[in-house]
Amino acid sequence: GNSVTQMEGPVTLSEEAFLTINCTYTATGYPSLFWYVQYPGEGLQLLLKATKADDKGSNKGFEATYRKETTSFHLEKGSVQVSDSAVYFCALSEAGNQFYFGTGTSLTVIP
Amino acid sequence: DGGITQSPKYLFRKEGQNVTLSCEQNLNHDAMYWYRQDPGQGLRLIYYSQIVNDFQKGDIAEGYSVSREKKESFPLTVTSAQKNPTAFYLCASRALGRGRLTNEKLFFGSGTQLSVL
């Protein structure tokens, strides 16, 4: 079956630090991969996505590369800001019918 | 502005009571979803619908019911059979386009926090 495993949090970083949030997946076919972000008290927003192997999704300084050989889609940002504090969810979809989400990783960035 | 509106933002349920959470979208999306979010857990699918007057159970449908009488509306009822209803409920929608690249983005509402009195 399909599933997503992401690193447990919470993660606390100082401003301008480097961020990595690990995500690995299990899928029966060729899924699309996503990172969603949830700010306090709000719904989720799509941060970035990749639809095939070796694709790199990027947005707002965040990047993630679809690695089929390691079944991974790790989220990275070179220099985090206080405004990046949120919960980050890795997700996959096969043919867009159902979406499978990881448990979420809480990030707090301190000044 | 187009988007998804969930109401109310906070809801309290008394024991034995049914409550209904509203979800309305003006994005002209065909598919709509209800997810439950518990602390430390990912999103779990309750129900989804891809067309008016049709819907399917997700992973945790027991104790919940839905209807899809209009394309823009997908209300969720938490029945008295749901013994542990306290959670954050998220509604989402997406377009069902022909192209794979155009129909995989989920749009979320801002959620409803349901608590038991």
pLDDT for A88 equals 96
How far does A20 lie from chain B, in Å, by closest CA?
19
- Cα–Cα distance between A93 and A31 in angstroms, integer? 5
Distance, in Å, from the CA atom of B95 to the CA atom of B30, rounded to the nearest integer, reads: 6
Mean per-residue pLDDT, B32-47: 91
Question: Which chain B residues are closer than 8 Å to A25 by Cβ?
Answer: none
**A42 vs B92: CB contact, 8 Å cut-off?**
no
Residue B96 confidence (pLDDT): 79
Encode pLDDT of B49-106 as tens digits: 999 999 999 989 999 999 999 999 999 999 998 989 999 999 999 987 665 555 578 9
CA A18 to chain centre: 15
Q: How many residue pairs bridge chain A and chain B with CB atoms within 8 Å of each other?
A: 53
Q: How large is the average pLDDT for residues A99-105? A: 92
- pLDDT at position B103: 57
Residue with tokens 């639809």: A51
The number of beta carbons lying within 10 Å of the beta carbon of residue A57 is 21
pLDDT at position B117: 82
Task: Please say whether the beta carbons of B91 and B23 come within 8 A.
Answer: yes
Question: Hey, is the C-beta of A43 within 8 angstroms of any chain B C-beta?
Answer: yes
- Position B72 scores a pLDDT of 97
The minimal CB distance from A42 to the residues B40, B96, B110 is found for B110
DSSP assignment string, B28-70: --SEEEEEEE-TTS-EEEEEEEEETTEEEE-TT-TTEEE--SB
* pLDDT 10s digits, A13-38: 999 999 999 999 999 888 999 999 99
pLDDT digits (tens, 9 = 90+) for A56-82: 999 999 999 999 999 999 999 999 999
pLDDT score of A24: 97
Q: Which residues of B touch A36 (CB under 8 A)?
A: 106
